[in-house]
Amino acid sequence: MAVGAISADMSAMGRRVSYTRAFMGLMVRDLYVLRRELWPFAVRVAMNPLLFLFVFTYIMPHMSGGAALNPTARMSGGTGVNFSTVLLPGLMAVAIMFSGIAAVALPLAQEFGITREIDDRVMCPLPIAAVAIEKIVFSALQSIVAAAIVFPLAYYVPSTPVHAHVSNWFFLAAVLILASLLAGAMGLTIGTAVNPKQIGLVFSVVVVPITFLGCVYYPWAALGTIPWLQTAVLLNPIVYMSEGLRAALTPSLGHMNEALVLGMLCLFLTLLTWLGLKGFRRRVVS
């Protein structure tokens, strides 16, 4: 019995080592592909926030003598915080979301297409679920890089100074990691639930609306004048990305409770990962 137990333990350890090597092999393969497309990736991540910042926080303040900043100052509860400061965490959340979704959903549209490139991936010595999780983890790495690219843009492009202060680095790291994983899980869910030919339509019908209603360009507290909308947007996971980064980077702004943010990010991550894994298995074995 003791010999059998030792043999079983050795076999289980061997499988774990094999799975770890295969998982890292997929990661290295994806990193190699990304390295060849690093410049397009940087342009894709930086272009949208750069244009938004340049128009709304550089051009408009110069045209209006700063008058364009007053509405946002009122939204921030009379604290006088300018639009640039409000935008910093919001645009980082958008970069995380877009990068995470694009890194998973768009490749899946190709891999589940006529060529069935996904079959090459699932032939590696890994469970099907682990192949999908690798996609989420790799997209999360891209999302963190995307947030890092946006930060200097949002800090230096605006004509008004950005007042950012990190009082809890652990909370910031937790929000970044959870938000990045959540974006990848969202991409997996979309990529496995939507017909590859309709993936572009999803960005117009789903991604853009949830972005504008995700408290990206305004704090969640500012919706207090519209109670029904303030309640409805709580179903939007991007709200918790934006509010979490707002609490971590611009704590002077009104923001959601930090424990609530972390709890909801975990809840949405669990739900979307489950839906994504279920859809991935269905599409692979079909």
Kindly report, residue by residue over 132-146, the tens digit of the pLDDT: 898 899 899 889 988
More confident residue, 113 or 264: 264
In a shared domain, residues 134 and 111? yes
Structure tokens at 134: 């690798």
Angle between helices 83-111 and 38-53 in degrees, nearest 10: 150
Q: Is the pLDDT of residue 174 over 90?
A: yes
Q: Is the pLDDT of residue 74 over 70?
A: no
In a shared domain, residues 165 and 261? yes
Question: Per-residue confidence at 64, pLDDT binned at 50, 70, 90?
Answer: low
Question: Per-residue confidence at 244, pLDDT binned at 50, 70, 90?
Answer: very high
In a shared domain, residues 111 and 11? no
More confident residue, 250 or 196: 250
More confident residue, 36 or 176: 176
Interatomic CA distance for residues 26 and 131, integer angstroms: 8
DSSP state of 225: G
In a shared domain, residues 79 and 179? yes
State the pLDDT at residue 34.
76
In a shared domain, residues 151 and 221? yes
More confident residue, 211 or 84: 211
In a shared domain, residues 56 and 181? yes
State the pLDDT at residue 136.
92
Question: Per-residue confidence at 128, pLDDT binned at 50, 70, 90?
Answer: confident
Number of domains the chain is built from? 2
State the pLDDT at residue 213.
87
Mean pLDDT of the chain: 80
What would the pLDDT profile of 147-169 be if each residue is shown by its tens digit?
A: 888 878 877 777 677 777 888 89
**Domain limits for position 24:** 1-36
What is the average per-residue pLDDT within 239-267?
89
Looking at residue 53, its amino acid is L
Interatomic CA distance for residues 188 and 141, integer angstroms: 15
In a shared domain, residues 112 and 145? yes
pTM of the model: 0.83
In a shared domain, residues 32 and 49? no
In a shared domain, residues 29 and 95? no
What is the average per-residue pLDDT within 27-41?
79
Q: Is the pLDDT of residue 39 over 50?
A: yes
| Complete DSSP assignment for 197-224 | GGHHHHIIIIIHHHHHTTTSSS-GGGGG
Q: Of 253, 256, 259, give the one whose Cα is nearest residue 243.
A: 256
In a shared domain, residues 74 and 196? yes
In a shared domain, residues 31 and 42? no
Class of residue 48 by CB neighbours under 10 A (exposed 0-12, middle 13-18, buried 19+): middle
What would the pLDDT profile of 93-127 be if each residue is shown by its tens digit?
A: 888 888 888 888 888 877 776 667 676 676 777 78
In a shared domain, residues 58 and 106? yes
